[in-house]
């Protein structure tokens, strides 16, 4: 995890920016390569269930994971591989879950993107459609009752989720209770194949922020620096007691809803618009033009990441998968109401 270096209002040192930017870029790259590996394995018929990519959303996602601190709560969604890695999820957690290894955090017993490490604040997603807001709220309220006010909770959502009742209830509660909640919305123009024009009638989702008692922030989801600055500002606001924060970032989902969807409904004019820029490419070009790294460095990072992903996959492919006759059905839940999670602790979260 990165301690927030881009404090709001502060004059950002170019060096601090370069450091944060490069760290973020390398995490985005790892997420992209890992996602692509899962897509390839899926096409080979070796992954059960769906594969959901974060292509085009890595800048926003990585910003969310990076600006949080140890002890904070992070509720990622299905396109947040970059944020998960930035928050500290080991690459093996993702590979083991997708390949159904019993050594993974969900012991091969739960959906691919429903994995988590609740004890480390990385929540296992219930649904992509806003169900996690009230879970984060509950954790923040419990911490408040324990006098632990220094941490924040961040939940990621899509534009489609913003139309659900769960989100309305969660936002309303966070506003009334002035919780240190940050909601980061990837406004990627589609929910499955439903365009945003069929999702909401307001000009921008940010119009809703004041109605719920949130502070609203717009971000360019294709621009890593903007994402780092805006999410960082929202997190700092929440941390210093300014109540819930809503970040809405405009971007385009550069893939289908899942790998089963060819996204043929995304019109060429959208793909060619500013929102359709590939944030990873934009970040790479920025690094090169600012000379924050050489062409050789960029090439080496790419090779290293590919190697890391290939190694992880080939080692996990040799791991055991669950035996339905001997395995207990539970993934993370405990047998009794007492916390017996120690026995299932997946080990340290260092990457
Ligand atoms: C409560 C619930 N309803 C429906 C679904 C099925 N579903 C999963 S993702 C999705 C669309 C999500 O769109 P959006 O929130 O815009 O996120 P994106 O997929 O674009 O990242 C739907 C309808 C679900 N998982 N949970």
Residue in 125, 189, 192 to alter for ligand 1 test, most ligand atoms within 8 A of Cβ: 192
From the CA of 57, give the closest atom in ligand 1: 21
Cα–Cα distance for residue pair 237/21, rounded to 1 Å: 21
**Per-residue pLDDT at 284:** 98
pLDDT tens string, the chain, 351 residues long: the values are: 444 444 444 444 678 999 999 999 999 999 999 999 999 999 999 999 999 999 999 999 999 999 999 999 999 999 999 999 999 999 999 999 999 999 998 888 888 899 999 999 999 999 999 999 999 999 999 999 999 888 999 999 999 999 999 999 999 999 999 999 999 999 999 999 999 999 999 999 999 999 999 999 999 999 999 999 999 999 999 999 999 999 999 999 999 999 999 999 999 999 999 999 999 999 999 999 999 999 999 999 999 999 999 999 999 999 999 888 887 767 666 666 555 445 455 666 654
Based on C-alpha coordinates, what's the Rg of the chain? 19
In this structure, what are the phi and psi dihedrals at residue 179, rounded to the nearest 5 degrees? -75, 150
Q: Ligand 1 centroid vs 135 CA: distance in angstroms? A: 17
Q: Ligand 1 centroid vs 191 CA: distance in angstroms? A: 6
Q: Ligand 1, atom 5: nearest CA belongs to which residue? A: 129
**Per-residue pLDDT at 2:** 46
From the CA of 192, give the closest atom in ligand 1: 11
Query: Using an 8 Å Cβ cutoff, are 97 and 86 in contact?
Result: no
Cα–Cα distance for residue pair 191/198, rounded to 1 Å: 10
3-state secondary structure (DSSP) of residue 218: strand
Domain boundaries along the sequence of the chain: 10-322
**Per-residue pLDDT at 11:** 40
pTM for this predicted structure: 0.93
From the CA of 78, give the closest atom in ligand 1: 21
From the CA of 130, give the closest atom in ligand 1: 1
Element (H, E) at 43: helix 14-43
Q: Ligand 1, atom 21: nearest CA belongs to which residue? A: 158
Cα–Cα distance for residue pair 151/114, rounded to 1 Å: 23
Class of domain 10-322: alpha beta
Nearest to 85 by CA among 24, 41, 6: 24
Lining ligand 1 with CB less than 6 A are 79, 127-129, 158-161, 186, 188, 190-192, 253, 257
3-state secondary structure (DSSP) of residue 20: helix
């Amino acid at each position: 995890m990165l301690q927030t270096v881009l404090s709001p209002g502060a004059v950002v040192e170019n060096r601090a920016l370069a450091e944060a930017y490069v760290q973020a870029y390398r995490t985005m790259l790892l997420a992209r390569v890992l996602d692509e590996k899962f897509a390839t394995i899926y096409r080979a018929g070796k992954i059960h269930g769906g594969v959901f990519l974060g292509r085009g959303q890595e800048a926003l996602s990585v910003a969310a994971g990076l600006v949080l601190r140890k002890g904070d709560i992070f509720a990622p969604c299905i396109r947040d591989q970059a944020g998960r890695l930035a928050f500290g999820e080991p690459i093996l957690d993702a590979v083991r879950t997708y390949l159904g290894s019993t050594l993974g955090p969900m012991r091969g017993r739960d959906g691919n993107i429903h994995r988590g490490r609740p004890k480390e604040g990385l929540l296992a997603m219930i649904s992509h459609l806003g169900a996690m807001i009230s879970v984060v709220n509950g954790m923040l309220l419990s911490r408040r009752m324990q006098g632990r006010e220094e941490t924040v909770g961040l939940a990621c959502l899509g534009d489609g989720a913003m139309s659900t009742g769960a989100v309305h209830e969660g936002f309303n509660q966070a506003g009334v209770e002035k919780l240190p909640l940050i909601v980061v919305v990837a406004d990627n123009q589609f929910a499955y194949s439903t365009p945003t024009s069929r999702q909401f009638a307001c000009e921008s989702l940010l119009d809703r922020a004041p109605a719920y008692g949130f502070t609203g922030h717009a971000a360019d989801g294709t621009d890593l620096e903007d994402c780092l600055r805006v999410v960082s500002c929202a997190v700092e606001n929440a941390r210093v007691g300014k109540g819930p924060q809503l970040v809405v970032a405009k971007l385009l989902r550069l893939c289908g809803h899942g790998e089963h969807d060819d996204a043929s409904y995304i019109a060429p004019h959208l793909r060619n618009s500013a929102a359709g820029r590939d944030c990873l490419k934009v970040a790479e070009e920025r690094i090169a033009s600012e000379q924050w790294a050489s062409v050789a460095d960029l090439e080496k990072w790419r090779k290293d990441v590919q190697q890391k992903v290939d190694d992880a996959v080939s080692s996990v492919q040799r791991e055991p998968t669950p035996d339905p006759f001997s395995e207990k059905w539970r993934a993370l839940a405990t047998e009794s109401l007492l916390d017996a999670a120690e026995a299932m602790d997946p080990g340290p979260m260092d990457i």
